[in-house]
Structure 1
Amino acid sequence: MKIQALILFLIGYNLLYAQTNIKTDSLKNYTYQELQEKFYDYNYDGKSDESKLIAQYYLSKAKQEKNNSQIAEGYAFMYVNENEENALKYIDSMSVVSKKINEDIYPTRIYLLKANIFLKFNNQKEALNNYIIGLKYAKQRNNKRQIALAETNIAYLNNYVGKHLEAALILRYYMDNADYLNENEVEKIRVNLADTYIEINKLDSANSLINRGLRVFKNKDTYRYYQYLILSGSYHLKLKKYQMAIDNLLQCKKYFFTTDDERNKNYTLYYLGESYVGIKQKQKAVQNFAEIDSLIQKSDYIFPELRRVYTYLIDYYKEKKDKEKQLFYIERFLTIDQILDSEFSYVSRELPRRYDKPNLLKEKEAIINELATKKIFFYISLGVLSLILWLFVYLYYKTKKSEKQHRKIAQDLVHSVYESHKVRKETETQNENLSYTEPQENLKDKTTRVIAEEVAKTILKELELFESKEHFLKKGITLATLAKKIKTNSNYLSEIINTHKGKNFNAYLNDLRIDYAISRLAKDKKFSSYKLAIIAEELGYNNEQAFTTAFKKKTGTPLTIYLKEVEKENL
């Protein structure tokens, strides 16, 4: 018999070994990325043996290739289907390898994975500690994805202690704004948010998320479909539509008890029990609550609603006068309550102190900085506005002062037109006399080129005629055309004008025109009423701009102001 047993064992072992080898050999053709996808697919479908095989091969392959980054990833796969002790050992191994890797996801990832392990095995205290530390490192490295993972898991802990409103705010934000999370992570947020909405009586919002999930995953993803179906049961329980809740939850019970999902097993039974309480079927309620206790003894999965479960069982058996079961459930209640109280008290105390308070302080600091920035901006703006105002006032008074000066110049010009005209006549006479005396004495000194006295006299006489007959008003006059007209050359004419008029030809011509304009505008009311373009044309200028520019340059006052003063004098 022993020999037969040994033979059967060896045959079974060889068959298993051969089967494993075939699977392992088939994995050699896959990349790391493909192996990751297969691992997640198997693990998600509840095929733990297959996912373990993938994880083992993945880690072995990475070690053989001495790829530290992939070795760390292999440890992350290995911990998934292990008990708490072994899972933590794998994460510790990952921590050692991560020190050889220059990746900014570490050490945050170590703390977040440890937190997940503690949360899975109902150690909320250590889960919170590790999430808080992980969040600190994630913020230091500004890793948005890891910040989101830490904060959403902290939100789940907020739900655990009954702080549903705080949890809803965080979950809603990341559901709508975290495009850096993968599809599974976002779906997990959506499921938990629907559950949270039920807790805070935002039933329309919850129902919207639930119906979407049922619609999207029906005939596509069985596990997710039943996740939403159990939420549908909870939703109808909240509405006191007990039979609809029972119909949904019985389907969930049939499905989840084929999986290793302890959480959904327990909550399915809990919602079923409460639904039966609602329709006053106490015996069925007790059956489901008692089944929860049986599950807890095997898995150690505990949740806050257990207080309700055990008090109901105690009261039921007290009513039935079944002392033994009453005592049994009292002892079970005291054991569970102590654990719950320890975990609940710690998380309730530490969450506000280590998460909410730092966030509030950060928010306070941000507000203070914003106010300080606004204050600085206000003072800068006030300073700039003051400077602009001062500049405006300065320019205003400068403009006014300039206008006053311009008006004074214009007034003096208008008042002295006749006198100036008389002086100009006298000056012309003097120049005529000088042309026969002074040039005779100094002609050689004043004229740099040798010009005969008779030639100089002739040119000066021609210039007198040019001025008296107002030929300077003709358009297109140049030094060359004037020289040709008075039968001399341009060089002689330029030299005579520079010497005897004290200016070059252009200035000489311009001064004649402006002096004429000053006089005629003051004396000829009709002329001063013309448009500036017409006046400029009559004065020999090509355009209005050339005239106004020349007038300002010659007189020191704008033409418009001079015309205003002329108009005042003519009233």
Structure 2
Amino acid sequence: MKNMRYFFLLFIGYCNLLYSQNSLFENLNKYSYEELENKFYSYKDNNENEESRIIAEFYIKKAKKENKDKKYIAEGYVLNHYNKDLPVALKYIDSLEIISKNLQDEIYPARIYLFKGMLYYNADNLKLALENYVTALKYAKEKKNTRQIAIADLQIAYLNGYIGKPQEAAKVLKYYYDNSGSLTNEDIQHIQINLASSYLDIDEFGKAEKLIKNGLHYTLKNNEYVRYNRYLSLSGQYYLLTKQYPKSIEILEKTKAYFLKNNIDLDANYAMLYLGQSYAESKNKDKAVENYIKIDSIVQKTNNTFPELRDVYSYLIDYYKEKKDKEKQLYYIDRFLKINSILDTQFRYISRELPKKYDMPKLLSEKEEIIKELKNKKYLSYTTIGILCLLLIFIMILFVKAKRKENEYKEIARDLIKSVSEKSHSTENKTENEVIANQEIFDSEKNKLPDEIVEHILKELKMFEEKEQYLKTGIVVDNLAKKFKTNSSYLSKVVNIYKEKSFPNYLNDLRIDYALIRLVNDKKLRSYNFSVIATEFGYNNEQAFANAFKKRTGTTLSTYLKEIESQP
């Protein structure tokens, strides 16, 4: 009977839900398209997903039934893509892309790529998010759509802040906060909360506090509870960073409860991250661990990562190591390694440096030792201990070799930086005396080449080097020979004789020698990712650039960049 009563209650609830939905559908008939859009976004912004879904479905049915202006059907696809899983959301945007081709509207196609960028960003695919934002920015500039240019710039700024470049993000956000002519009030509110967050990340506490107070007042006045709690969470972070831990704990406990109740996972994770740090600073390790464990459970459910997860797992590993709980220590080492691998891919710019407390060789070695210890806990023997010792020695030898190699790379990099600093310009262009010496050494080869051709090619090569034309991508001996109005055979022989190297080596040496100087002197260039830097020096991809750099210098590109940054 109890089960029948439960079933009856479920049935009544389901009927009531159907009735309320049908009633809402009937009530929606009296609204215009613009009014429906306003109601949709009002529900969406307050995380009332079911109500916004009903309006979105009604909107597109109405637009298709009335067969009005295609722009309403297009807008129906936009409304329906929100709060959907990535594959479903992308299908709506694909439909939008098809129908928008028939619309004479300056917001397309940039709008398509902005939506895709946001979808990939929310799905934790930062690479595709950035690619789509950059494409959107290109189309927005072509159409001279100032608002879309601003939105694309802002999305890239948010991405910069998310991957650990708050200084760069803050500059862009502050510019559009002060120059918001093409932006809506909603856009400005979004900028304000992200600018406050960026200010906290760069220790501009006074500026952050002012924005947070303004945001709390505005959102409470306008009943924007989701955004209000986001400002409240930033307030908790402010008190954490200014070492007012009781206040931060009190505030963050409230925002944590709100975000968890409303299934706003990423905001919940950040609230618990700062809450855990507040408890840790207050010497309450158990409460810190409680919050960090909850973060791990949400990450496993959503697969959404963020850079500070490394700190979360490092803390849990240390906690259970102190407790001598090997099983949980091993579990969180595995979680750390998995998340670290994801972050290495997603946040290449951040992950060049190994974690300070747990560099990978040490962590992998520790993992192997714990596994062995757990398997043989009751049956340890001298043989097992001997094997473990040999394994540890082997790992230590590999580690020492790797460290030695790393130190060699660093030493070479320092010498190169010193050399660049001492010289205003460093190339391997042949002097006139060297050329004469080469003519004597390779006299037999020279005799096979007409003097006027040699003179012409050497003159062209000199201009090629002086004007830094070697930085263009796609240069091969055939197209350069055509540009010099000669043939590739003559050009190759002249380079072999007078430059004493093959044409590919000659081209790579010019580029790398130029790169050595430019990277030392251009701080902004060093901040770009490797693929952008590679293009700057004429390479199609970062791997080709990295290989050429190591072959020419004997050290790695990443080591060279790190040593430049470490210079006083």
1:149-160 matches, cutoff 5 A: 149-160=151-162
Residues of 1 paired with 2:131 and 2:18: CA distance? 42
Q: Is the 8 A contact 1:253 1:269 kept in 2?
A: yes
Matching residue of 1:274: 277
- Specify the code of the residue in structure 2 equivalent to 1:101: L
SS in 2 for 1:172: helix
Matching residue within 254, 257, 262 for 1:254: 257
Say whether residues 1:202 and 2:204 are aligned partners: yes
Quote the Cα distance in structure 2 between the aligned partners of 1:70 and 1:57.
12
Superposition pairs for residues 479-518 of structure 1, below 5 Å? none
Note the 1:17-36 alignment, pairs <5 A.
Answer: 17-36=18-37
Question: 2:149 pairs with 147, 150, 170, which one?
Answer: 147
- Retained in 1: the 8 A contact 2:220–2:228? yes
How many angstroms apart in 2 are the aligned matches of 1:30 and 1:310?
Answer: 51
Helix, strand or coil at the partner of 2:243: coil
Q: Which amino acid aligns with 1:237?
A: L
Task: Tell me how far 1:347 sits from its aligned partner.
Answer: 8.9
1:118 counterpart (108, 117, 120): 120
Q: Report whether the alignment pairs 1:190 with 2:366.
A: no
Q: Residue 132 of structure 1 contacts residue 354 of structure 1 at CA under 8 Å; is this kept in 2?
A: no
1:59 aligns with 2:235: no
Q: 1:134 aligns with which of 133, 136, 141?
A: 136
User: Structure 1, residues 422-460: CA drift from partner, whole Å, max 9, x if none?
Assistant: xxxxxxxxxxxxxxxxxxxxxxxxxxxxxxxxxxxxxxx
Residue identity opposite 2:129 in structure 1:
A
Tell me how far 1:13 sits from its aligned partner: 6.2
Aligned to 1:245: 248
The equivalent of 1:105 in structure 2 is 107
Q: Secondary structure at the match of 2:230?
A: helix
**Aligned position for 1:447:** none
State the partner residue of 2:71: 69
Shift in alpha-carbon separation, 1:318–1:72, aligned structure 2, 3 A: same
| Structure 1 CA distance for aligned equivalents of residues 194 and 531 of structure 2 | 20
Does structure 2 retain, via aligned residues, the 8 Å contact 1:24–1:57? yes
Distance verdict in 2 for CA 1:20–1:214, change over 3 Å: closer
Q: Given the alignment of the two structures, is residue 313 of structure 1 paired with residue 316 of structure 2, yes or no?
A: yes
1:169 paired residue among 168, 171, 186 = 171
- The alpha carbon displacement at 1:191 in A equals 0.5
Aligned residues of 1:270 and 1:289 also touching (Cα < 8 A): yes
Q: Which moved more, 1:67-76 or 1:222-231?
A: 222-231
* CA distance 1:149–1:139, shift in 2 (3 Å): same
Aligned pair 1:288/2:291, yes or no? yes
Aligned to 2:237: 234
1:38 and 1:285 map into 2 onto residues whose CA distance is: 40
1:68 CA displacement: 1.3
Q: Measure, in 2, the Cα distance between the counterparts of 1:50 and 1:209.
A: 31
User: Relative to structure 1, is the Cα distance of residues 239 and 15 closer, same or farther in structure 2, using a 3 angstrom cutoff?
Assistant: closer
Aligned mates of 1:142, 1:155 — CA distance in 2: 20
> In 2 relative to 1, CA 235–109 (structure 1 residues): closer, same or farther, beyond 3 Å?
same
1:184 CA displacement: 1.6
1:224 aligns with 2:400: no
Structure 1's 179 and 316: CA in aligned 2 closer, same or farther, altered over 3 A? same
The alpha-carbon distance between structure 1 residues 279 and 23, as it changes in their structure 2 partners (threshold 3 A), is same
**Whole-angstrom distance in 1 between the partners of 2:530 and 2:349:** 11
Q: Distance in 2 between matches of 1:354 and 1:109?
A: 28
1:64, CA displacement in angstroms?
1.3
One-letter identity of the residue aligned with 1:207: E
| Structure 2 counterpart of 1:90 | 92
CA distance in 1, matches of 2:258, 2:343: 28
Say if 1:161 and 1:348, in contact at 8 Å, map to a contact too.
no
Do the aligned partners of residues 116 and 7 (structure 1) sit closer, same or farther apart at CA in structure 2, a change above 3 Å counting? same
SS at match of 2:347: helix
- Does the CA contact (< 8 Å) of 1:195 and 1:206 recur in 2? yes
Query: Displacement of 1:19 after TM fit?
Result: 3.4
Q: Is the 8 A contact 1:194 1:207 kept in 2?
A: yes
Identity %: 45
Whether contact under 8 Å (1:124, 1:347) holds in the other structure is no
TM-score by length of 1: 0.59
SS in structure 1 opposite 2:528? helix
Aligned-pair CA distance for 1:21: 2.5
- For 1:355 and 1:175, the matched residues in 2 are separated by 31
Q: Aligned residue for 2:464?
A: none
Aligned mates of 1:216, 1:183 — CA distance in 2: 12
Give the alignment of 1:522-541 within 5 angstroms.
none
Provide the residue aligned with 1:79 in structure 2: 81
Q: Which amino acid is 1:236 matched to?
A: Y
1:341 equivalent to 2:517? Answer no
Report the Cα distance in structure 2 between the residues aligned to 1:346 and 1:205, rounded to whole angstroms. 27
Letter in 2 for 1:352: Y
Distance 1:340 1:250 in 2: 28
Report if the CA contact (8 A) 1:125-1:347 is conserved.
no
Find the counterpart in structure 2 of residue 46 from structure 1.
47
> Partner of 1:408 in structure 2?
none
Residue 352 of structure 2 is aligned to residue 352 of structure 1 = no
CA distance in 1, matches of 2:32, 2:253: 42
Are the counterparts in 2 of residues 46 and 259 from structure 1 also a CA contact under 8 Å? yes
Contact 1:125 1:346 in 2 (8 A): no
What pairs up with 1:354-393 in 2 under 5 angstroms?
none
SS at structure 1 position matched to 2:31: coil
SS at match of 1:345: coil
Cα deviation, residue 6, structure 1: 11
The 1-side partners of 2:47 and 2:324 are apart by: 43
Shift in Å at residue 175 of structure 1?
Answer: 0.9
Contact in 1 for aligned 2:33/2:59 (Cα 8 Å): yes
Distance 1:15 1:147 in 2: 46
Report deviation, 1:192: 0.6
1:212 corresponds, among 211, 214, 218, to 214
- AA at the equivalent of 1:331: D
CA 353–324 in structure 1, closer or farther in 2 if over 3 Å, else same: closer
Question: Could you tell me which residue of structure 2 aligns to residue 322 of structure 1?
Answer: 325
Q: Partners of 2:5 and 2:274 in 1: how far apart?
A: 52
Write the letter of the residue equivalent to 2:344: D
Considering only aligned residues, what root-mean-square deviation do their CA atoms show, in Å? 3.0
1:260-308 Cα distance to aligned partner (Å, 9 max, x none): 3212100000000001111111111111111100111112221100000
Is contact 2:96-2:112 (8 Å) kept?
yes
Give yes or no for contact 2:47–2:226 (8 Å, CA) kept in 1: no
Alignment partners' CA distance in 2, 1:96 and 1:229: 42
Q: CA deviation at 1:342?
A: 0.3
Unaligned runs of 5+ in 2: 353-524, 538-568
| Paired position in structure 2 for 1:544 | none
In the alignment, the residues of structure 2 paired with residue 256 and residue 58 of structure 1 have an alpha-carbon distance, to the nearest angstrom, of 29
Distance 1:244 1:9 in 2: 43
Distance 1:152 1:338 in 2: 28
The TM-score normalised by the length of structure 2 is 0.60
Which residue matches 2:390? none
